Amino acid sequence: MELAGVLNYLVGFFIMVGIYGIFSLGLNVQWGFTGLFNAGIAGFFALGAYTTALLTTPAPDAAQVEDFIFGGNLAGLPYLDWGIDFWFILSLAAVALVCGIVAYAVGRLTLRLSGDYLAIATLGIAEAVRLMFLNEKWIANGSKGLYRIPEFLGDLVSPANYDYLFLVVVLVVLALLYLAVQRVVNSPWGRVLRAIREDEVAAQSSGKDVYSFKLQAFILGGIIMGIGGALYAHHVRFISPITFDPLLATFVIWAMLMVGGSGNNRGALLGAFVVWGIWSGTQFLPWFFADPNFRFFMIGVLIVGVILIRPGGILGETRRVSRVVGASSHTPVKEGGNPKE
Amino acid sequence: MTRPLETRLSPLSRLAGPIRRQWSPGHTTVAIVLAALAIGLLPFVHMGLVVNGVFLGAIIALGAVGLTLIYGILHFANFAHGDYMTMGAYVALFLTASFFPWLGVTSDGFGPFTFGFTLLIALPVAAIVVIAGAILLDRFVYRRLRDRGVSDLFMSMSSMGVAIALRGLVQMIWGGDIETYPRESKQVFHLPMDVRIPPDAIFIALMAVALVVTVYLVLTRTRIGKAMRATADNPELALVSGIGTRGVTWWTWGIGAALAATAGVLLAVFQGQLLPIMGWKFLIPVFSAVILGGIGNPYGALAAAFAIGVTSEVSTQWMNPSYKPAVAFAMMIAVLLIRPKGLFTMAGSGR
Amino acid sequence: MAVPTPILEVRDLVKDFGGVRALDHCTLDIEPGHITGIIGPNGAGKTTLFNVVSGAMRPTGGSIAFYGRRIEGWGMHRTFGLGLVRTFQIPREMQRMTVMENLMLVPAQQMGEKLWASWFRPGRVAQDEDRISTQARDVLEMLTLSHLADEYAGNLSGGQKKLLELGRTLMAEPRMVLLDEPGAGVNRTLLRNISKSILLASAERNVTFAIIEHDMGFVMAMCDQIIVMANGAVIAKGTPTEIQNNPLVMEAYLGGLNRGSP
Amino acid sequence: MALLEVSAVVSGYGQTEILHGVSLTIDDGEIVTIIGPNGCGKSTLMKTVAGLVNVWDGTVNFRGKDISSTPPEQIARTGLCFVPQTRNVFPTLSIRENLEMGAFLRKDDFTWRIEEMYRFFPDLALDPGRRAGSLSGGQRQMLAIARALMLDPTLILLDEPFAGLAPAMVYLVLDRVLEINRSGVSVLLVEQNARQALSVSNRGYVLVSGENRLEDKGSALLDNPEVSRLYLGG
């Protein structure tokens, strides 16, 4: 019993690490490789979670319905039920589309201006998205939120063991995204992104359409974050505007990337593990260390501390050699000391 | 000094008129009042909302003027500015609700206002605490980053970390629940056109006007104020003129933090409550005012703050009031679409 | 032999900054295959000329034609696409990228620069990368920087950065290169290296060069023709010997005697 | 003892060494001009003396004190004032405010000094409230010089004060510089327009590639054929 409890806890823990790993990966595409400051991850998180929830949740019976309309019941539609829960893929595609469009719109407006504009605009978008879901009850039930969000492949196992299955789902999605991101950031495309991060004017004088690359990176990052949000919704199965408080939906993710090492995808994942470990581990500590407000404070200190003491994070960026196609031929020479921040 | 130079004068005086005129708070205030009246007199707009918007705008202005100064002189977006506001509000709370009562001094309902006279003492103390905090943070965080020559974006990011830490600190000390200053309900003033003004709002407006005028006088009349503008204009020339960077930096933080702390207290009075997240939420209207007014331009920020205050209040006539920050944000987006450098940027401001 | 048609034709180019006119009806031709030196006192408008021609700035007036195509007002990445490449006075390398990466970044129209290509067309991308890395190694060889291929560019010395900058222009397979002070802050040995590389690129790759440079020894030795600018316009053009014996040029540098002292 | 003594100074930006050991001296009351082809390090030398560029090696002595590691805002206090070539005024400040900033370190009432500057450069007195950013090139140069004079310096460094000015303006500014010198201020001038500057200078230095090449009386340098050879190579 004792062991089963620990195991259950660990499974839950790693599901969250996996989901936050996805956010961290998305942020790495934007900040770590391209130098785009997204201060409103929560916006993409919420869009992803709400999009999938609205598309897949069955409509509630009349007694429960107050004044909101559900968008769809993808999971319950018979012609999509091919025994393999195909709706899940479809829903993720929709999430990608929605987040991609929003990222495109924000990027169009701000990416030609200096970096701070993007930060402020994303901050605003996150708040606007939250306000919309909070106030427009007809969209998503306002502050009461959406519940009974369906489980992917939920009929394969008993509800008690579902978390084991979902951990596998999260890890598979994470692995796919990791490989996909790893491949592009090590490709010439990623090379251009890093060039933009280092010196925009020089990248331009090398004939690169800086704006277009920034836009692509911002959209890709936004889509990945949206997918993270979708997985979160199917894991927790209940979302409301409170879920997307900037602390757990934006700041923690920043702390993860900065701690793990921005510009390094393995660092992004390591950071998710370390910071989530600290976050969920401290609740077992005695006295005020368990106080969520103390943890809140520590997240801020952690971000400032990393910037001050070890700007590269734990892993830091690895030096790449010239042959950079695919993951197999990519071998870091050695951990490079950064010449300059 | 011997030769007559008259013959060689170049005809500069003809051009001088329109370019020289800078926006002063006087001009801005007159323009705002006229504009607000004009909007309020529209038949479909509720005058009371316009008046309310002016008060909200006054608070936004306090935040935005400080933030835009920091932006102009230290060159980064201070995401902790909202939390400096929160800090100010909570320090005043500690003084009025705990410290003064402990000393045996309690007060609420001072004169026509809901709050006690202790708040008037608490306000400058809170400002001093926040100033000290801001300067300490500069000494131990931002100065180290500047010395290392990190990019402006890294500075902004560390300010975000500072913002989170400050809010965590507030929550650790005071908890996350709604608090209020010791208060007593008061009659509101009734004016024509169905305008009701709570007396507190008049206090807010007077404080805001007094502070903004003070900042204007500091910037235009005092040695250090001119040095701040000079440093924003041309840091290298400021150095060779003997203007030390450290003094200017401290003054910038000092003025910014004092305005922020006051804005925080006034916001808490205006809303009748304190919440740890109040400052962070207020960042959106404040940043919108900064961008709308042209980054680094205090006069622009001032005018934009009132525009945002009035617009977002008036919008509640048709929209859910909780959309107010979204309205401010939408105005910022509209400006980014039309004039990315802000509405009030002056030609040749050298940036 | 036919008279060579100019590769670059600049006509009546004007560029104002506020009230200051940096280029004042500047007109010049540059013929293909030559190494042209552009000299003149400070403030003559040389760097502005490069900025406008390369598309970093919009001209106030006048026209620029590159291989007969009007390019004034184009962005930098578009002129780059035509094979018109420039360097900066202060080298701008990507510090936290290796020397090799700095070079491989440059070639245009790389398959792998499309986001989807490395997912769906890895073969093509690898092919491109092979070709480009070979090209980059050749360039490194020529610049004698091979031993630094995997070093962070930020760790190079000032002179090596200048060489890298030159290498980046060569990676673009340019038709014409605008070099802004390739010799500034470079020691003698590296400067010889740079001139050798320029001559080699000119001879073997048929690249046309326009060089702003203050080291007159370097200019007179390298260039087969020299354009002298002063106050935003061209005041003389000719071979090094012609320029050295042109009294107008001396006056531009030292100030006219006719203005005299008050 | 020389007023300013620069000996074997090495300096540069980042990792790039620009000055490879430059020496020069200025005595009280002198006008000294540094000429030399572009990129020879004239401006860097000025900035090094003014403290904006770090001295890597060698010493800078001003009035007998080593100022090679003094920060720029302290150097201004010692009576050495620098007028940069470009960006030499505060554009959004008014003319008067620019002058007040020049006097930032003065503790006394300096209104008389501002009045003196208005008399000295009558152009500035026309409209003291005007923003410096809207001035013409020549007026801007006058304001820049006036700003530097506010501290009553003993030595003033002028970096190409005549660059980009119309000939009539060059006369005007040159005339003012001579007047400043007559009032007892030493002047170190960097000029491209060598003939004009040398003709009014006591002495001149020719700088090439960050090293001293020639030093002579101003008029003697003018007649030296070596000078044009250094400019155009050969």
Range 185-224 of C in CB contact (< 8 A) with A: none
Band (D15; pLDDT cuts 50, 70, 90): low
Pick the most confident of A214-223, A287-296, C250-259. A214-223
Q: Which residues of C touch D164 (CB under 8 A)?
A: 20, 43
Which of B44-48, C26-30, C32-36, D89-93 is predicted with the least confidence, judged by mean pLDDT? B44-48
Higher pLDDT, A181 or A329: A181
Question: DSSP code of A111?
Answer: T
Range 29-88 of A in CB contact (< 8 A) with B: 35, 37, 39
Average pLDDT over residues D81-108: 90
State whether C96 and A317 contact (CB < 8 Å).
yes
Residue of D87, D92, D119 to mutate when probing chain B, most B C-beta within 10 A: D92
C69-70 β-sheet, strand order: C20-30, C8-17, C61-66, C69-70
The pLDDT score that the predictor gives to residue C79 is 84
State whether C92 and A201 contact (CB < 8 Å).
yes
Which tokens sit at C79? 């002129």
D and A touch per CB criterion (3+ pairs under 8 A): no
Among partner residues A109, A135, A298, which is closest to B337 by beta-carbon distance?
A109
Q: Which residue of B has its CA nearest to A37?
A: B153
For tokens 């860097």, the residue is D44
CATH number corresponding to D4-231: 3.40.50.300
Q: Which residues of D touch C184 (CB under 8 A)?
A: 16, 39
The mean predicted confidence, pLDDT, of chain A is 83
The amino acid at A116: D
Residue A266 and residue A281: Cα distance in Å, rounded? 22
pLDDT digits (tens, 9 = 90+) for A4-21: 788 888 999 999 999 999
Residue of C101, C109, C131, C177 to mutate when probing chain A, most A C-beta within 10 A: C101
pLDDT digits (tens, 9 = 90+) for C220-245: 888 889 999 888 889 888 888 888 88
Element (H, E) at D5: strand D4-13
pLDDT tens for the 351 residues of chain B, in order: 333 222 223 322 222 333 334 555 566 667 777 777 777 677 777 778 888 888 899 999 999 999 999 998 888 899 999 999 999 999 999 999 888 888 887 777 777 788 888 889 999 999 999 999 999 999 999 999 988 888 888 899 999 999 999 999 999 998 888 888 887 777 777 777 777 788 888 889 889 889 988 998 898 889 999 999 999 888 889 999 989 888 899 999 999 999 999 999 999 999 889 999 999 989 999 999 998 888 888 888 888 898 899 889 888 888 888 888 888 888 888 888 777 666 665 433 333
Can you count the helices (H) and strands (E) in chain C?
A: 10, 10
pLDDT digits (tens, 9 = 90+) for B293-329: 888 888 888 888 988 998 898 888 888 888 888 888 8
The pLDDT score that the predictor gives to residue A325 is 37
Residue A161 and residue B297: Cα distance in Å, rounded? 60
Q: Which residues of B touch A308 (CB under 8 A)?
A: 141, 144-145, 158
Band (C37; pLDDT cuts 50, 70, 90): very high
CA dihedral A67, A72, A73, A78 (to 10 degrees): 140
- Chain-centre distance of CA D171, in angstroms? 17
Q: Which residue of C has its CA nearest to A179?
A: C119
Band (D234; pLDDT cuts 50, 70, 90): very low
The pLDDT score that the predictor gives to residue D99 is 93
Residue A33 exposure: Cα atoms within 13 Å on the Cβ side = 33
Task: Decide if pLDDT at C259 tops 60.
Answer: no
Average pLDDT over residues A245-256: 88
The pLDDT score that the predictor gives to residue A172 is 94
Cβ(D90)–Cβ(D101) below 8 Å: yes
- The whole-angstrom distance between A11's CA and the closest CA on chain C is 31
pLDDT digits (tens, 9 = 90+) for A96-128: 999 999 999 999 888 888 788 889 889 998 989
Average pLDDT over residues C201-210: 87
Asked if D46 reaches chain B (Cβ–Cβ under 8 Å), the answer is: no
pLDDT digits (tens, 9 = 90+) for C39-61: 887 778 888 898 899 888 888 88
Which tokens sit at A274? 């370390």
State whether A293 and B176 contact (CB < 8 Å).
yes
Which residue ranges make up each domain of chain D? 4-231
Residue (of B334, B62, B27, B306) closest to B314 by Cα position: B306
Higher pLDDT, B237 or D137: B237
Residue of C97, C133, C160 to mutate when probing chain A, most A C-beta within 10 A: C97
Residue (of C241, C243, C140, C144) closest to C192 by Cα position: C144
Residue A205 and residue C172: Cα distance in Å, rounded? 11
Residue A316 and residue A336: Cα distance in Å, rounded? 8
The pLDDT score that the predictor gives to residue A65 is 55
DSSP one-letter string for C20-52: EEEEEEEEEEE-TT-EEEEE-STTSSHHHHHHH
Higher pLDDT, D53 or C217: D53
Q: Which residues of B touch A115 (CB under 8 A)?
A: 152-153, 156
Residue of D54, D85, D104, D140 to mutate when probing chain B, most B C-beta within 10 A: D104
Quickly count: other Cβ atoms within 10 Å of residue D104's Cβ: 23
State whether A340 and C154 contact (CB < 8 Å).
yes
Which tokens sit at B176? 């996350």
The pLDDT score that the predictor gives to residue B350 is 34
Work out the percent of chain A whose per-residue pLDDT is above 70: 84
Neighbours of chain D (3+ CB pairs under 8 A): B, C
Among partner residues D16, D199, D232, which is closest to C249 by beta-carbon distance?
D232
For tokens 């979160």, the residue is A232
Residue (of A200, A254, A232, A251) closest to A30 by Cα position: A254
Cβ(C92)–Cβ(C105) below 8 Å: no
* Strand partners of residue B90: none
Task: Decide if pLDDT at A241 tops 80.
Answer: yes
Residue of B241, B297, B344, B351 to mutate when probing chain D, most D C-beta within 10 A: B241
Domain C8-93+156-253 has CATH 3.40.50.720: no
Task: Decide if pLDDT at D94 tops 80.
Answer: yes
Domain B45-338 has CATH 1.25.40: no
Which of B126-130, C190-194, D65-69 is predicted with the least confidence, judged by mean pLDDT? C190-194
Residue A337 and residue C57: Cα distance in Å, rounded? 36
Higher pLDDT, B274 or D231: B274
Which of A258-262, A318-322, B64-68, B296-300 is predicted with the least confidence, judged by mean pLDDT? A318-322
State whether A109 and B333 contact (CB < 8 Å).
yes
Task: Decide if pLDDT at A299 tops 80.
Answer: yes
The helix/strand/coil state of C69 is: strand
Higher pLDDT, A278 or C261: A278
* Three-class DSSP labels, chain B: CCCCCHHHCCCCHHHHHHHHCCCCHHHHHHHHHHHHHHHHHCCCCCHHHHHHHHHHHHHHHHHHHHHHHHHHHHCCCCCCHHHHHHHHHHHHHHHHHHHHHHHCCCCECCCCCCECHHHHHHHHHHHHHHHHHHHHHHHHHHHHHHHHCCCHHHHHHHHHHHHHHHHHHHHHHHCCCCECCCECCCCCEEECCCEEECHHHHHHHHHHHHHHHHHHHHHHHCHHHHHHHHHHHCHHHHHHCCCCHHHHHHHHHHHHHHHHHHHHHHHHHHHCCECCCHHHHHHHHHHHHHHHCCCCCHHHHHHHHHHHHHHHHHHCCCCCHHHHHHHHHHHHHHHHHHCCCCCCCCCCCCC
The pLDDT score that the predictor gives to residue A75 is 65
Quickly count: other Cβ atoms within 10 Å of residue C16's Cβ: 14
pLDDT digits (tens, 9 = 90+) for A148-182: 788 877 777 777 778 888 999 999 999 999 999 99
- The whole-angstrom distance between B175's CA and the closest CA on chain A is 8
Q: Which residue of C has its CA nearest to A183?
A: C118
The mean predicted confidence, pLDDT, of chain C is 83
Asked if C42 reaches chain A (Cβ–Cβ under 8 Å), the answer is: no
The helix/strand/coil state of A81 is: coil
- The whole-angstrom distance between D71's CA and the closest CA on chain B is 9
